């Protein structure tokens, strides 16, 4: 019988296996084909470009996971993106994967590229484009071409970043066709690899069809044409490696910009080992645990200076350090807690006092210029007459208002549950976290699987009764199982990652790295706004 509750180690093994599969892109045959052309693959280019022994934080590893199956799949949405270091400078890297449909743009490819540009713009980071794409995937052009967040938005972002003073460097390392040709040429510098790189608004076949001219692609838009005749590209190089070396030299000359000024001291190891943290955290979402123990595994020395520790106990607020960076942590406490009045409060639920505490803590962190880290394992806000009479809506709104208007950068990690308005209050994707990652144990939806399945079943049964059909208990049980299975699939962190609702699914032991690199990125963007919560009831 299939296990319904996998262990945390099994979930980590699944994550590792899925990562290996995605990293192969279009498969070994396509990888070999790129090598035969003298080209590196997208991931090989990134690995060659970044500083030796430096860290790379990939964004959107599982984008498009399980999507476009009828089209043969699109691993990682056909593009590799992330934060890395080139000549000691942190930057955003975007590399088209030509092993996946010749690097063609699917709808999720556009969304992922726009996410990479968003990260560069929010954090004022230089960006490198390693271009190797056949352009829009024509069978799905209606889902990628004309709308605000479609293909053309990236060129708008090119222009905006240029005006913001964000350095953009592009390397044409393969095909660069039609509208896609504007991306590298709207960058500050455009490099091209001889014989393999090409750039034109229309390829030779389309030129023949449109104006009757016979011309080959190399003559039409190869490196020699654009470096010696048109002047479209700046310099040509004999190989991928030579071109990437040139990018490294460009980055070695970049000047510094004003920083945000977040505080950092020498880092310490976390308070408990990664293995111990995995023992503490239950894979089953119904089991309680002490979030303070998990926090000890994430922060330097396990040291957390709690704010109002004896008030609003279902939310933990406090300051700590992660790899030396000062952070303000807001985390859902998952164990049942007792109030000063002797009342018991359920873990993972946000009560009025907790929301009030969090709102005030967020204000303090903004005043002190401390980045915020949200650790989500939330079932939602407390419901019922007592909660309503106590003003849960008012206090919840106060927390959301403070969080939404925060001017210090926010980072969100979804450890477990992320349900309903709890997702919003704890800085879900709608509230612009600089980075948002899930653990393999995460579940994101309007409500839990069990609650949703029963509600959906009631709706379905009522609908059938209106048509005069009465179903048997056996049929009702089968229907519940079908609904539960479908809903549970949508709860999966990979379902969220495939749609870029989160930036990726990570091993819990990589959480410190993700947050630290995120704050380092955010520190490149000077804070020019003042914190103002607007209308808020006290």
Tokens 């806000």 identify what position?
381
Taking only the tens place, the pLDDT of each residue in 466-494 is 887 877 888 777 777 777 778 788 899 99
Taking only the tens place, the pLDDT of each residue in 459-470 is 877 787 788 787
Mean pLDDT of 223-243: 95
Instruction: Locate all alpha helices (DSSP H) within 52-140, ordered by sequence.
Output: 107-123
pLDDT for 431 equals 97
The secondary structure of 355-407, three-state, reads HHHHHHHHHHHHHHCCCEEEEEEECEECCCHHHHHCCHHHHHHHHHHHHHCCC
pLDDT for 1 equals 31
Taking only the tens place, the pLDDT of each residue in 292-302 is 999 999 999 99
pLDDT-based confidence at residue 3 (cuts at 50, 70, 90): very low
Alpha-carbon distances, residue 484 vs 427, 464, 471 (angstroms) = 27, 18, 18
Nearest-angstrom CA–CA distance, 89 and 467: 65
Mean pLDDT of 63-71: 94
Give the rounded distance of the alpha carbon of 295 from its chain centre.
22
Mean pLDDT of 311-324: 97
Taking only the tens place, the pLDDT of each residue in 158-209 is 999 999 999 999 999 998 887 778 899 999 999 999 999 999 988 888 888 8
Give the rounded distance of the alpha carbon of 288 from its chain centre.
27
Alpha-carbon distances, residue 154 vs 97, 117, 161, 227, 334 (angstroms) = 18, 8, 10, 24, 41
> 330 - beta bridge partners?
317, 374
Mean pLDDT of 262-288: 89
Nearest-angstrom CA–CA distance, 166 and 127: 8
Nearest-angstrom CA–CA distance, 191 and 243: 7
pLDDT exceeds cutoff 90 at 33: yes
pLDDT exceeds cutoff 60 at 513: yes
DSSP 150-192: STTHHHHHHHHHHHHT--EEEEEEEEEBGGGGHHHHTSSEEEE
Alpha-carbon distances, residue 432 vs 20, 137, 435 (angstroms) = 29, 29, 8
Q: Identify the residue with better confidence: 483 or 60.
A: 60
pTM of full prediction above 0.85: yes
Return the percentage of the chain with pLDDT > 90, whole number: 70
pLDDT for 449 equals 63
pLDDT for 2 equals 42
pLDDT exceeds cutoff 80 at 85: yes
Taking only the tens place, the pLDDT of each residue in 93-151 is 999 999 999 999 999 999 999 999 999 999 999 999 999 998 888 788 888 888 888 88
Mean pLDDT of 429-438: 97
pLDDT exceeds cutoff 80 at 447: no
């Amino acid at each position: 019988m299939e296990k319904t509750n996998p262990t945390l180690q099994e979930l980590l093994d699944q994550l590792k296996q899925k990562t290996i599969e995605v990293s192969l892109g279009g498969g070994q045959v396509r990888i070999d084909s790129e090598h035969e052309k003298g080209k590196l693959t997208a991931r090989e280019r990134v690995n060659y470009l970044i500083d030796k022994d430096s860290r790379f934080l990939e964004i959107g590893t599982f984008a498009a996971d399980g999507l476009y199956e009828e089209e043969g799949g699109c691993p990682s949405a056909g593009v590799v993106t992330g934060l890395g270091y080139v000549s000691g400078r942190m930057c955003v890297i975007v590399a088209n994967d030509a092993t996946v449909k010749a690097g063609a743009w699917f709808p999720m490819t556009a969304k992922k590229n726009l996410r990479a540009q968003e990260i560069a713009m929010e954090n004022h980071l230089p960006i490198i484009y390693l271009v190797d794409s056949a352009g829009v995937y024509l069978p799905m052009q209606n889902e990628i071409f004309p709308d605000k967040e479609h293909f053309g938005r990236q060129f708008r972002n090119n222009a905006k970043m240029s005006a913001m003073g964000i350095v953009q460097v592009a390397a044409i390392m393969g095909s660069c066709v039609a509208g896609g040709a504007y991306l590298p040429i709207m960058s500050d510098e455009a490099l091209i690899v001889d014989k393999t790189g090409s750039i034109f608004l229309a390829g030779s076949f389309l030129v023949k069809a449109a104006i009757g001219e016979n011309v080959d692609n190399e003559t039409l838009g190869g490196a020699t044409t654009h470096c010696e005749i048109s002047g479209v590209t700046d310099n040509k190089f004999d190989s991928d490696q030579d071109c990437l070396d040139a990018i490294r030299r460009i980055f070695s000359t970049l000047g510094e910009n004003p920083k945000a000024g977040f505080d950092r001291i020498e880092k310490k190891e976390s308070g408990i080992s990664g293995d111990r943290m995995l023992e503490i955290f239950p894979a089953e979402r119904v089991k309680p645990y002490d979030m303070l123990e998990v926090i000890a595994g994430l922060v330097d020395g396990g040291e957390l200076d709690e704010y109002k520790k004896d008030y609003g106990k279902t939310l933990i607020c406090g300051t700590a350090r992660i790899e030396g960076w000062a952070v303000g942590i807001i985390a859902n406490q998952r164990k049942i807690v007792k109030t000063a009045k002797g009342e018991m409060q359920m873990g993972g639920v946000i009560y009025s006092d907790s929301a009030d505490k969090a709102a005030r803590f967020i204000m303090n962190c903004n005043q002190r210029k401390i980045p915020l880290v949200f650790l989500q394992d939330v079932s939602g806000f407390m419901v019922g007459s007592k909660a309503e009479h106590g003003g849960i809506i008012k206090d919840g709104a106060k927390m959301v208002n403070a969080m939404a208007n925060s001017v210090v950068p926010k980072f969100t990690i979804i450890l477990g549950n992320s349900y309903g308005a709890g997702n919003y209050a704890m800085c879900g994707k709608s509230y612009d976290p600089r980075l948002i990652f899930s653990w393999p144990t995460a579940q994101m939806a309007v409500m839990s699987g069990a609650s949703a399945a029963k509600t959906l079943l009631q709706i379905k049964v009522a609908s059938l009764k209106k048509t005069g059909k009465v179903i048997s208990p056996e049929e009702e049980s089968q229907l519940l199982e079908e609904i539960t299975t479908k809903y549970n699939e949508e709860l999966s962190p990979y379902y969220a990652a495939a749609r870029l609702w989160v930036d990726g699914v990570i091993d819990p032991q990589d959480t410190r790295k993700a947050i630290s690199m995120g704050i380092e990125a955010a520190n490149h963007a000077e804070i020019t706004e003042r914190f103002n919560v607007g209308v808020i009831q006290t």
